[in-house]
Amino acid sequence: MARQTPPTSRRAAPTKVSKPFPWGTVLGSVVLAALLVGVVGYAFANQGEGVRDLVRNPDAAIEGVQVANSEDLARDHVAGAVDYPSVPPNGGAHNSVPQSCAVYDEPIPAEHAVHSLEHGAVWITYNDELAEDQVEVLAGKVEGDPYGLMSPVPDQESPIVLTAWGRTLDLDSASDSRIDDFIEAYASGPQTPERGAACIGNTTTGELAAAPVAPAPDASAAPVDPSAAPQVSAVPSPAAS
């Protein structure tokens, strides 16, 4: 009797399970990317706008800047001391020689400093209340700047005053971000009457001496009348013997 071969058993193929498309992950990535682009774009746009305002209209872009009437700022050259209406002055009549832009440890003649403002300098001054470490911070912002000028002004009211031609900004701290804005905006900025002129000249410190005044003529002295001078008669020489 023939031997029967048992039927071969076949394994059923595994059932394919289809995974759903990860719409949640894709949607989340799209939202995150859009948010990131928006934040970066907003920051870039606002930063650019701030820079443009600082260059185009710094008087409005920097909070607290006091702007003088240009008609009140004389530009005459004078030989002696000037009685300025503000301390430190932000313009007006001045000495014919500007103060060389640098960091000074002693007060400098305001008459020379104002001429430097006319050439585009930013003058940073401080009083005795400002701590030494803050003085050093200010000096670091001025050193090497061809239009940076710094000196103490002991009798000014604010601890720190930033001055450009016709512009003044009172501050309390050397860490105030407006210091950098003021320097960027006004150093040889659009307010400069003689833009491009060098900030080089006087290097002495101390107050400027008053110009010497010629003495007035003595009105009590009677004028000399040549006709009233005594006449001297000629004395004849003795006759020859």
Give the separation between CA 108 and CA 100, rounded to whole angstroms: 10
- Residue 162: name the closest of 190, 129, 184 by CA: 184
Q: Are residues 50 and 74 in the same domain?
A: no
Give the separation between CA 7 and CA 238, rounded to whole angstroms: 187
Q: Are residues 46 and 148 in the same domain?
A: no
pLDDT in tens, 78-101: 999 999 999 999 999 999 999 999
Task: Report pLDDT for 54.
Answer: 85
Does residue 34 carry a pLDDT above 90? no
Q: Return the CATH number at 169.
A: 3.40.30
Q: Are residues 143 and 110 in the same domain?
A: yes
Q: Are residues 116 and 41 in the same domain?
A: no
- Residue 111: name the closest of 136, 128, 135, 93 by CA: 93
Q: Residue 68 corresponds to which tokens in the numbers above?
A: 């003088």
Task: Report pLDDT for 108.
Answer: 98
Q: Are residues 133 and 53 in the same domain?
A: no
More confident residue, 182 or 216: 182
Alpha helices, DSSP H, located in 57-131: 58-61, 110-118
Give the separation between CA 124 and CA 71, rounded to whole angstroms: 24
Residues of the domain holding 48: 29-59
Q: Are residues 74 and 144 in the same domain?
A: yes
Q: Given 186, 201, 221, which residue is the final one in a domain?
A: 186
Q: Given 141, 156, 186, which residue is the final one in a domain?
A: 186
Q: Are residues 124 and 89 in the same domain?
A: yes
* Count of domains for the chain: 2
pTM over 0.75: no
